Structure 1
Amino acid sequence: MAGLLTSEQMRAIEGAAIESGEVTGLELMERAGQGVVEAIFEEWPELAGQGGDKEGGAAPDPADLPRNISGKVNEDVSPRRAVVLCGPGNNGGDGFVVARLLLAKGWEVELFLYGDREKLPPDAKQNCKRWLELGVVLPLENDLETSTMEADLVVDALFGTGLSRPLEDLGQVLLDICEQRAIGFYSCGAQRPGASARVVAVDLPSGVCSDSGKVLCEAGFEGLEQSTAATRAVEADLTVTFHGMKLGHVLGVGPRYCGKTVVKPLAIEKCHPTGGLVTLAQGGRGQFLGKTSQNHKYSHGHALVLSGGHGKTGAARLAARGALRIGAGLVTLGSPRSAMYENAAQLTAVMLHQIDGAHGVSELLEDARFNALCLGPGLGRGLDTQAVVIAALKARRATVLDADALTRFERDPRVLFDLLHEDCVLTPHGGEFAKLFPDLAARLAAPTETGPAFSKVDATREAAARAGCIVLFKGADTVIATPDGGCAVNSAQYERAAPWLATAGSGDVLAGFIAGLLARGFSAVEAAKLGAWLHVECARAFGPGLISEDLPEQLPAVLRALEGEG
């Protein structure tokens, strides 16, 4: 699986490569700058078609040259213009390389430096000197509107992953950059409908914490991350990072500020972080979910889903359907007497068994063939729910706990934690997480004044250690953590965005997916990661108009596609 790096891990990777003699800092900076320019032209090929390469590159394709209203090539068109903003560290050094490479391709480049060029790190200072042989370095003032209004491209190389403080002294600069993403502008005397300055961030948009995806802000801006009016970070159209994605690219509001993230290699693949790596959840073993003719239904397990009372049964049926569709050999819905007729009217392949109270659960689980449980969806929050959950956990089966099975214990979560075991998976959303782990939720929601900030990864890891089982903290940036610190992020962002999952019952289906995978013999962490990944793929496959009932029915097509890939 792909790894997500912290800023410290990335520094260690680059440091190890330099120390080993594999590469120099200057070479890394040159590769980074080249990667940014490549990514720009890959994303917007029309920007590559104007201006000759001053270093002897190929002439532009005539098809890419600007034309007037009659279709003839406009030979009087001015070169493309870029504004490059360099910061006081090595991210700024990357910016000097980008500026030099764009100038060599015939662009007009205006470069601004935030800070004192005499205090730049050695490699960045060397690239600053190279730039000074070609152009000038302007001080970064608090108003860039005049420069950015006529720019085709704004390059943010201010801070990247190295930021550890808010950008309170650059508020107007950031506002000027962000406004150019939405303002149409005139180029060479001819309007380009819908055009605006593209904003490219080097490594990470300045103002965003690399390890948490939060916007760093000074005290008093508690609502900053939800406010588009209070600008404290660059909003990029494209973010170009190196070697691997960072946590901030997928956590919190990071993806919103990144726009689109592209990874460019630094050719130092032999250097890997040691310990604490967060993986990016992928399909993995999903291609092995098929069944063979030598197996029978009990070979794939028997999942038990518990239903709530009359009028509260839909969530459990959604979970049961999800468990069955993902391949559990048998699924039984345990229903109280009051809801038997209601459930029976809706079920066919899912079996139905009357269970009243904790004693009924204990009695049914004397049958060892029930090897996976799903508790919580629509179960209710009464005292009987707590007793039922306790009875089920004492049976020591692989168990998914969701919704009411979690919130019922908010008064004293330790009662629940004392019963959990390594084959349990908790699947809270933000509100449920706050009820079980109020201190962690408070730290996560606190204003972020310094970096690296407390992240959703940090919170979920601590929660898993405290609970002693797998914790799946839901969201577009779902985090799955194990008690020993293992961690994965299932990112439903960028090209995997699935906003249609914001619909009633989708979390119940996810709980059912995980329970079905547990029944089939997947470990708790494998079931959580694969279930979350398939959940997003089903939503993406269906698209707009999705309701929760559609998710299990989309699984066959998704699984067939996975088998084809295998």
Structure 2
Amino acid sequence: MVDLLTSAQMRAIERRSIDSGVVSALQLMERAGQGVVEAIFNKWPELQRDDGTALVLCGPGNNGGDGFVVARLLKRAGWGVKVLLYGHPDQMPPDARKNYDRWLDMGEVSPLHLGDIPHPFPQSDLTIDALFGTGLTRPLEKPLAQVLSTELGAFSVRKRIVAIDAPSGLCMDSGRFLSGADPLTADITVSFHKMKLGHVLAEGPVACGQTVVVDIGLPESEDQDRIPKSLQTDVNAGAMLVSAQTLGGVDKLDSYSHAGHKFDHGHALILSGEFGKTGAARLAARGALRVGTGVVTLGVPPSARMEVACQITAIMQSRVSDASELKKRLLDKRINAICMGPGLGFDRARALVPISLADKIPCVLDADALSAFADDPETLFQMIHPNVVMTPHAGEFARLFPDLSQRLLGPSTTGPAYSKVDAALEAAKRAGCVVLFKGADTVIASSDGRYAVHSAHYERSVPWLATAGAGDVLAGLITGLLARGFSPLKAASAGAFLHVEAARLFGPGLIAEDLAETLPEVFRSLRYQATASSAPSA
């Protein structure tokens, strides 16, 4: 798990540490610059020589101050360093100005005026983007944005680009480039103390390249004091749920060790579509079974019962042709979680969703169970209860929450820009349940304001997970965890985590059927990690 901070939270943590005398702003800037240089040499060991060349682009704020520290340290190591300053030194914050003056004792600073921006920039072994960092709240001026796009953009031939805090123009609260800035890209981005939301949302991961977090000596306790509990977030949220050392009762994924009946581990009902449309529900059912649900039953219409019977073994099936039969089926109080949507069909969804939601049984609404109500989402929201998890992808989200989607996709001229976290939180509050907004930057939000971010980026990138049926398996994983007693937020978070873990473990060539079958190996690996991490050191 990794804490993610907003820009405002990071500033508050720094300010409190400085005001309390724990550290000075000048010390933080020096540590930041040292951390950037160490990250550079760790990334490119071949640069640890005394004849390299660096171009350092400094901005008018503290990000630029970090850049001057980097320039000074590289110069001291024997490098040839060229520094360009965007802005006037008299307008720099005091600590950034001190580092500007320190650099003047070693080298020159060339002005980077909009009217005469050198184009192209001088060639170098290394380019440092220290123009604008987490504090950016407005678009870059157009001439500067155009030059940066050419020199530091995706099609630039410049080698080894390092961004301090963020590629300039990227909003660190949303991962979106503010209007006026074409996407820039870095080979590595150095973040201080903690990752920021923008490093894992939207365009952030592609723009940042590889994000390296540097410790600059801010006390960990400051985070807990300054970050509201509702805003604490996780990357890889759900990893904690697989550790036997931290969980008890039904919140154990390895709770097979206690004696009991299969129904002690939950009974999930997955509703299937008509003949020829049962594959998605069967994928979901397999996911629910593999995640440890004691009993999984497919609710199947008469036309598809033979088709389903030919494809299942450990999974059970029961006839569910219409609303009345579903009502009878739900008289079995051992059923403690329902999945509706995968391959269900719009007509069947409109008939069965109200019945499934009426008894307040924990429920996952996915795919057709969402899109069937696109013309009247308020009707769906009125039926939803807090034990529901909705799992829309971007298209389904736009159909149910068109205004939120429009804000998310529309241009943003000021920061902090409207983010996927903002959209998911508003959607969860409107619907009154947990919303898992799918994507490589999955956001899981609850109606009470809590949220988690599950990032499948950087070392956790799994592009092969974009395969037909993968979302159906995710719906089944969450349903199975609900059946086992997980809360909706925990079930959604753990399901998203396990979904990616299975894809990572299997690797390229993955198809949806492989996800559930890889889970046993995922559990073995996680149990080993939990045991190893809890073992006493020698």
For the criterion TM > 0.5, the same-fold answer is yes
Counterpart Cα distance in 2 of 1:179 and 1:500: 26
The one of 241, 266, 271 aligned to 1:285: 241
Task: Provide the residue aligned with 2:273 in structure 1.
Answer: 308
What secondary structure, in the 3-state scheme, does the structure 2 residue paired with 1:305 have?
A: strand
The one of 137, 144, 149 aligned to 1:175: 149
The one of 191, 196, 216 aligned to 1:246: 196
The CA RMSD over aligned residues, in Å, is: 1.4
What secondary structure, in the 3-state scheme, does the structure 1 residue paired with 2:257 have?
A: coil
Task: Provide the residue aligned with 1:45 in structure 2.
Answer: 45
- Structure 2 letter corresponding to 1:427: T
- Structure 1 letter corresponding to 2:400: L
Matched, 1:5 2:5: yes
Task: Provide the residue aligned with 2:58 in structure 1.
Answer: 86
Greater shift after overlay, 163-172 or 35-44? 163-172
The one of 139, 143, 157 aligned to 2:130: 157
Give the drift of 1:416.
1.1
Q: Is contact 1:302–1:369 with CA below 8 Å preserved after alignment?
A: yes
The one of 97, 120, 128 aligned to 1:125: 97
Count of residues in Structure 1 that have an aligned counterpart in Structure 2 = 512
Greater shift after overlay, 13-22 or 265-274? 265-274
Counterpart Cα distance in 2 of 1:267 and 1:128: 23
Counterpart Cα distance in 2 of 1:318 and 1:282: 22
What secondary structure, in the 3-state scheme, does the structure 1 residue paired with 2:435 have?
A: strand
Give the drift of 1:2.
2.1
Counterpart Cα distance in 2 of 1:535 and 1:308: 23
- Structure 2 letter corresponding to 1:478: T
What secondary structure, in the 3-state scheme, does the structure 1 residue paired with 2:339 have?
A: strand
Taking structure 1 as the reference length, the TM-score comes to: 0.89
Structure 2 CA distance for partners of 1:441 and 1:8, relative to 1, 3 Å: same
- Structure 2 letter corresponding to 1:178: L
Counterpart Cα distance in 1 of 2:101 and 2:238: 44
Q: Is contact 1:154–1:177 with CA below 8 Å preserved after alignment?
A: no
The structure having more radius of gyration, on CA atoms, is 1
Task: Provide the residue aligned with 2:315 in structure 1.
Answer: 350
Matches within 5 A, 1:211-230: 211-218=173-180
Task: Provide the residue aligned with 1:317 in structure 2.
Answer: 282
Give the drift of 1:418.
1.3
Task: Provide the residue aligned with 1:261 in structure 2.
Answer: 211
The one of 477, 499, 502 aligned to 2:466: 502
Q: Is contact 1:180–1:197 with CA below 8 Å preserved after alignment?
A: no
Counterpart Cα distance in 2 of 1:200 and 1:123: 22
What secondary structure, in the 3-state scheme, does the structure 2 residue paired with 1:549 have?
A: helix
The one of 394, 407, 430 aligned to 1:430: 394
- Structure 1 letter corresponding to 2:139: P
- Structure 1 letter corresponding to 2:299: G
Matches within 5 A, 1:385-400: 385-400=349-364
Structure 2 CA distance for partners of 1:180 and 1:5, relative to 1, 3 Å: closer
1:401-447 CA-partner distances (Å, limit 9, x unpaired): 00000111111111111121111100000000011111100100101
Give the drift of 1:180.
9.5
Task: Provide the residue aligned with 2:26 in structure 1.
Answer: 26
Counterpart Cα distance in 1 of 2:104 and 2:20: 31
Matches within 5 A, 1:72-151: 79-141=51-113, 143-145=117-119, 147-149=121-123, 151=124
1:328-387 CA-partner distances (Å, limit 9, x unpaired): 0000000000110111110111001111111111110111000010000000012x4212
Counterpart Cα distance in 2 of 1:20 and 1:311: 67
Among the aligned pairs, what percent are the same residue? Answer: 57
Give the drift of 1:166.
1.7
Task: Provide the residue aligned with 2:341 in structure 1.
Answer: 376
Structure 2 CA distance for partners of 1:130 and 1:365, relative to 1, 3 Å: same
Task: Provide the residue aligned with 2:262 in structure 1.
Answer: 297
Counterpart Cα distance in 2 of 1:467 and 1:179: 39
Structure 2 CA distance for partners of 1:180 and 1:466, relative to 1, 3 Å: closer
Matched, 1:485 2:443: no
Q: Is contact 1:181–1:198 with CA below 8 Å preserved after alignment?
A: no
- Structure 2 letter corresponding to 1:498: V
Task: Provide the residue aligned with 1:364 in structure 2.
Answer: 329
Task: Provide the residue aligned with 1:274 in structure 2.
Answer: 227
Give the drift of 1:256.
0.5
Counterpart Cα distance in 2 of 1:153 and 1:177: 12
Give the drift of 1:283.
1.1
1:474-498 CA-partner distances (Å, limit 9, x unpaired): 0000000011110100100000001
- Structure 1 letter corresponding to 2:144: L
Q: Is contact 1:166–1:232 with CA below 8 Å preserved after alignment?
A: no
Task: Provide the residue aligned with 1:73 in structure 2.
Answer: none
- Structure 2 letter corresponding to 1:277: Q
